Structure 1
Amino acid sequence: MKHLGKALVYVIVAVNIFFAGLFLFSAYSPWIINPSVHPVLSCVGLVFPIFLFINLFFLFFWLFVRPRWALIAVCSFILCIGQIRTYMPINFRTEKLPDNKIKLLSYNVMGFNMQKKHTASDPNPILKYILKKKPDIICMQEFQFTSDKKFLTEVDINKALSDYPYHTKCNVSEKGTGNWLACYSKFPIISSRIIHYKSTYNGSAIYEVEVHGEIITLINNHLESNKLTKEDKDVYVNMIKDPETQKVKNGVRYLTRKFAEASAIRALQANTIAKEIAASKHSSIIVCGDFNDTPISYAHRVIAQGLHDAFTQSGSGLGISYNQHGFYFRIDNILISKNLAAYNCTVDKSIKESDHYPIWCYIAKQK
């Protein structure tokens, strides 16, 4: 391979530069592109990991063939180091935790596994998991229950979570279909209200919670879903299983349009949440929930400006939290203000009863 012709080397160099440019563009797309103006282009952040691994391939290729050209990939990685760390951080676990820590759990419970009844002999698996993890504050999305006593009722949930004397819920669906957000806390919830923005099904809620004598602002989010139907997901799965050229082109075009529509709506929602964060009367702020968007996205960037991403700060790996139909992304987040510190942030894959894995971490005031 060391005897590649000069012309062929330059062709490969040109291809490498092209993909390095796409890598940079995808990494910085949340700063360059407003989804409200260019919704389709805003989806380029979804393929950030693909361009990352393509450039990693070129790095090793050049190291074995023409080491000096490896500088192309090296430079692209240096320029994107912040985004790479945001997307897939590496941190060591903290064994000794601060005494003033609290444990926060955020979980899209997807209707508690079809509102399965909770009893002592046959517990609801999601409630059983929450009780086992013993968080101090729980923020839930798609919190659903029924009045039919054969299934999970609100009374059942409150009884199971009796260790949480403070709790509040709100229906964020304009259509009244019961898409609730809920917060259960061992600390007093002083106030609770919906954050109003454009959506027919999703939403956000803001709470004031008194923790160790200090009031913190806590925002629980379920941002605009991508509205992928079972048929849409089948298109994606079939495209992966049988990557025939025309099928891939049609599938990518169709799915991109759906992602783009939702991305444009999420951009406006993210702007509204960012205004709420900026207007907070309290210095300690926690923002969590299902963002329905990746760490390399306009929504994540806008909401996280001025905050730390708890997973980036104290987690490790890709932290994939959505786990269905071949769509594997970290779309669930915990963000904290800079006067707080996160420890051992974990996307917990031990429970699979929802299409999301829960995310939790310890949070303490910076000394």
Structure 2
Amino acid sequence: MMTNLQQLLSRVRPALQPLLDGLIRLTRRVFDAYRKFPIAYTVLSYLYLTMAFSYYPVIGHWLTGFMMMSLPLAILAGFAACVYLFVKRQQLVATAGLVWVLFSFMVTKRLVGISPGELSLNQAQTLNVLSFNSETFPAGGESTFDLASLKADIACFQEYSPNEPIEQQYAATFKKLTCFGDVREVGLALFSKYPIVNQYGRIWDRTQGPDINGFLCADIAYGADTIRVVNVHLWSMGVRTNQAMDALKKGQLGVFCHELADTFVRLKEGFENRNAQFREVETYVVGSRYPVIICGDFNETPIGYSYGKLSQNFKNAFEEAGEGLGFTLNRHPYCVRIDQQFVSSDWHIKACQTLSGISFSDHFPVLAQYVLKKSMHVPATIVAQRTQQLGHALATK
């Protein structure tokens, strides 16, 4: 046996030797070049890793959260490194790096909506879905919010406090609230003009701060079909970037460093908890036999872990049918879109808009319009079945 193996190796070795020699020479050239241009090569390596984690987030560690958040800076630094390597006549690596910079469009396109759809609220055969972190309807906010004019067939609220004028507009209500202070309740709410035939909800516990984060999962009888709508509010961080900047402007370096450290701790805590929360939500939507709509306050940018994981199985409404940057945060730092709507391939996305005119909350509402690709015609037998099913739970998955 050994003799046969030795004979085989003796025959194969001459053919493989040139390939092995070539790999050794290439490895030596790479190490030699790295020693000559360590910063440029490190920047490009970091860009490769950041792009890989952002596009295909297989690792939910908090370190990858920081890496994904730094992607825009990594792209700029990578482009500068490519220019530098071109000047230094490192054309092969510089070209490869430039190609990778161009590939970053596959991720950065999540930040901008370039396919504006027309939002026609009175159009038949469409489903209008509203997602809104209402910040418990601050004083004076209820009078400025005319939900009826938006004609939302399904409305998903985060940081919701009981609001009778809103609840009177819907036939089906699903709420999950906890005590907030001495006299107020706050949590999640899902309202539907169509019957809710099955529901499940959870508020996650947190050791510090109010228990306001969680999710609602509702199976809704929509025409001849059942659809699954998930309203989610992932871990809130309360990062105080404005306080750090104020301290820097005043020359208070000690306060500035303290705020930076606090921001780091809050971000790390947020990455860890959101990833765990999202994995629980994911079990209700991935592989669902029903058409799925997921919406809510993700407290994460489009280059975050949750967005990347959902993008593997679902389409983002704003990315597909939005226009511009669509920022949804109505406080410092303002320029982020952390409220999202995702749908399964069963839906055609007609339009998605951030309603910046409704500004009493620290978030702007997101309104999207969908068309189910299946027929909406409801046979009489289905109507009878729906009547019998109300009050009984359907299979949750």
What letter matches 1:157 in structure 2?
I
Q: Does 1:140 align with 2:163?
A: no
Cα contact 1:273–1:303 (8 A) shared by 2: no
Instruction: Give the counterpart of 1:273 among 278, 281, 285.
Output: 281
Q: Does 1:222 align with 2:233?
A: yes
Report the Cα distance in structure 2 between the residues aligned to 1:326 and 1:244, rounded to whole angstroms: 20
Instruction: Give the counterpart of 2:173 among 167, 189, 209.
Output: 167
* Structure 1: 5+ residue stretches without partners: 1-9, 119-123, 146-153
Q: Does 1:259 align with 2:267?
A: yes
Cα contact 2:190–2:216 (8 A) shared by 1: no
Match of 1:355 in 2: 362
Match of 1:43 in 2: 66
Cα contact 2:57–2:308 (8 A) shared by 1: no
Q: Does 1:90 align with 2:97?
A: no
Taking structure 1 as reference, are residues 77 and 267 closer, same or farther at Cα in structure 2, changes over 3 Å only? same
Cα contact 1:167–1:183 (8 A) shared by 2: yes
What letter matches 1:93 in structure 2?
G
Shift of 1:101: 1.6
Shift of 1:40: 4.1
What SS class does the counterpart of residue 351 from structure 1 fall into? coil
Residue deviations 1:56-86 (CA, integer Å, cap 9, x gap): 67789999999x7974663123332221122
What letter matches 1:275 in structure 2?
T
Shift of 1:107: 0.5
Taking structure 1 as reference, are residues 28 and 209 closer, same or farther at Cα in structure 2, changes over 3 Å only? same
What letter matches 2:328 in structure 1?
S
Report the Cα distance in structure 2 between the residues aligned to 1:172 and 1:206, rounded to whole angstroms: 17
Match of 1:121 in 2: none
Shift of 1:42: 1.8
Report the Cα distance in structure 1 between the residues aligned to 2:309 and 2:179, rounded to whole angstroms: 24
Cα contact 1:194–1:204 (8 A) shared by 2: yes
Q: Does 1:157 align with 2:163?
A: no
What TM-score comes out, normalization by structure 2 length? Answer: 0.71
Instruction: Give the counterpart of 2:102 among 62, 70, 78.
Output: 78
What SS class does the counterpart of residue 25 from structure 1 fall into? helix
Match of 1:207 in 2: 218
Cα contact 1:320–1:330 (8 A) shared by 2: yes
Cα contact 1:16–1:72 (8 A) shared by 2: no
Cα contact 1:43–1:256 (8 A) shared by 2: no
| Percent identity of paired positions between Structure 1 and Structure 2 | 20
Shift of 1:190: 1.9
What letter matches 1:280 in structure 2?
S
Match of 2:307 in 1: 300
Q: Does 1:338 align with 2:363?
A: no
Match of 2:385 in 1: none
Report the Cα distance in structure 2 between the residues aligned to 1:366 and 1:64, rounded to whole angstroms: 53
Shift of 1:265: 0.8
Q: Does 1:27 align with 2:33?
A: no
Report the Cα distance in structure 1 between the residues aligned to 2:255 and 2:293, rounded to whole angstroms: 43
Report the Cα distance in structure 2 between the residues aligned to 1:280 and 1:172, rounded to whole angstroms: 29
Shift of 1:168: 2.3
What letter matches 1:349 in structure 2?
S
Deviates more, 1:132-141 or 1:42-51: 42-51
Cα contact 2:204–2:213 (8 A) shared by 1: no
* Structure 2: 5+ residue stretches without partners: 1-33, 375-397
What letter matches 1:288 in structure 2?
C
Taking structure 1 as reference, are residues 24 and 195 closer, same or farther at Cα in structure 2, changes over 3 Å only? farther
Report the Cα distance in structure 2 between the residues aligned to 1:268 and 1:294, rounded to whole angstroms: 17
Match of 1:102 in 2: 127
